[in-house]
Structure 1
Amino acid sequence: MPVYCITGTNRGLGLEFVRQLAQSADNTILACTRSVSSDLTDLKAVASSSTHILACDVGDLGSIREFVKEAAKILTSKKIDFLLNSAGINPAGWQSSLSLSPDDVLTQIRVNVSSWRRGLIR
C-alpha cells in the first residue's frame, strides 16, 4: 500500500494526480494544498476514503513543519513512498521572463524548485 504525498492538489496537475491515484483503494494520498480554507470542491470530488487533505504551503517553512506533524499523525509508522511536487507560484504573472525582477526570480526558485531543501523531503 504505497503512500503518495502530492502538493498543489486544488487544481491542475496535482488535482489530476489525486484523481488518478484515488481510483485504487490501495493508495494512501496526502493531498496538500496551500490552504484548507480555500475552495476545495474539485479536490473533494475526486478524493477517496484514503485521501487526506492537508495544508502545506511549500513557500512557508512553518507550514511545511506543521504538515510534517499532521502527516506523522495520519501515517503513524508508515513512510511517504512518493512525492509528486506540483505546487508552484507565479507571483508576477503579468511579467515575462525578460522583465521579472531579481526578487521575483528568487521567490520563484525558492518555492518552485527548492521545497525539498526546506524540509518536505528528508
Structure 2
Amino acid sequence: MPSYLVTGASRGLGFEFLRQLSAVPGAVVIGLARDKAATEKKVSAEIGRPNVHVVHGELTDYESLKKAAEDTAKITGGSLDYLIANGGIVSRYSAFKTLYDLADDPKALEEDLLTSYKINTIGQIHLFNLFLPLIKKGEAKKIVALSSGHADYDLIRDFGIVIAGPYTLSKTALNFAIAKYHGEFKNEGILFMSISPGVVETSGHNDPEGLSERELENLGKVGQQFANYAPHFKGAITPEESVRLMLDIINRATVENGYGGTFVSQFGNKQWL
C-alpha cells in the first residue's frame, strides 16, 4: 500500500498529482497545502476519493512543516514511500525579466532573490530534513523535487534563455541540494532526484496580459529560442500529460539504475522540450 506526500497540492501540478496518485490501488495520498480547508473542499468536489488526505504546511514556515510531518506520520503509521516536492514559486515580478533588467531597483531585486531562495531552496531543505525519518521507514524511499529546464546550464549558455534569473538560481541551488542528499543517503537506498515538468499550461505565469513592452520583447525572444532548441515544440502541455510523464519516470527511477542525484526532464533525459 504505497504512501505519497505531495506539496503545493491545492492547484496545478500538485492537484493533478493527487488526482492521478489517488487512482493507484491501495494508495494513501497526502497533499500539503497552505489552505487546508479550501483544498479539502476542492478534493471532495473534483476527486472524491477517500484515500486523499490534506495537511496544512507552508514552505516558509518551519514549524508548520514540522507539524505536517507529524500529521503525516499519524495517517501513514509512521512511514512514507514517496515525497514529491512540487511546491514552489515563480515570481511574476522577475519571470519575464533578465537580471540586468532588474538592475534599476536593487532592493526589489534582492527581495525577489531572497524570496525565491527561501521558498524554492531553503523551504525544500527543511521539508526533506523533516520528512526523511518517515522516508527511511518506507518501502520505496523516494524524494523527488520538481525543478525546471531553466536551471540547465547548457541550455542557458547555448540558447540564451536569460529570463527568470531569481527563479533559475533558486532551482539550480535546489538541484545541487538534491545531489548533496544523494551523496549522503545513496548507501541507504534512498533516491533523491530532480525532475522538470516541462512547459505546462498552469494559470498565471504563461499569461502575457499586463506585461511591459520589455517583458513582451523578452517573451518573444524566448519563443524563438525555444524554436531553435526544439523545432518540434508545439507549445505547453497539460498538467495531466506532465504528471503522467513524470510519474512514469518516478516509478521506474532507483538509485541502482542511475537516477540518484540526477536532474532530468519529464522524458527522463536532458531534452527539456
Smaller-chain TM-score bracket: 0.7 to 0.9
In the alignment, which residue of structure 1 is the partner of 2:42?
42
- Alignment partners' CA distance in 1, 2:41 and 2:2: 25
Counterpart CA distance in 1 for 2:131 and 2:9 is 17
Relative to structure 1, the CA distance from residue 111 to residue 47 in structure 2 (aligned partners, 3 Å threshold; closer, same or farther) is farther
Q: Distance in 1 between matches of 2:74 and 2:131?
A: 17
Counterpart of 1:14 in 2: which secondary structure?
helix
Q: Give the aligned length.
A: 120
Other-structure match for 1:115:
123
Q: Secondary structure at the match of 2:113?
A: helix
Q: Which 5+ residue runs of structure 2 have no aligned equivalent?
A: 103-107, 133-273
Letter in 2 for 1:75: T
Q: 1:72 maps to what in 2?
A: 73
Relative distance call for 1:82 and 1:47 in structure 2 (3 A) is farther
Higher Cα radius of gyration: 2
Distance change >3 Å, CA 58–CA 97, structure 1 → 2: farther
Query: Residues 22-33 of structure 1 correspond to what in structure 2 (within 5 A)?
Result: 22-33=22-33
In the other structure, the counterpart of 2:59 is 58
| Cα contact 2:33–2:39 (8 A) shared by 1 | no
* Bigger relative contact order, structure 1 or 2 (CA pairs below 8 A, ≥6 apart): 1
1:106 aligned onto 2:105: no
Residues 1:21 and 1:66: Cα distance change in structure 2 (over 3 Å): same
CA RMSD of aligned residues (A): 2.1
**TM-score with structure 2 length normalisation?**
0.40
Aligned sequence identity (%): 26
**Greater strand content:** 1
Unaligned runs of 5+ in 1: none
Match of residue 136 from structure 2: none
Higher helix share: 2
So what's the TM-score if we normalise by structure 1? 0.83
Instruction: Please tell me the residue identity of whatever aligns with 2:93.
Output: W
- The residue type equivalent to 1:121 in the other structure is F
- CA–CA separation in structure 1 for the residues paired with 2:73 and 2:39: 25
C-alpha distance 39-49 of structure 1, shift in aligned 2 (>3 A):
closer
Runs ≥4 residues deviating over 6 A: none
In 1, the alpha carbon distance for the partners of 2:56 and 2:66 equals 11
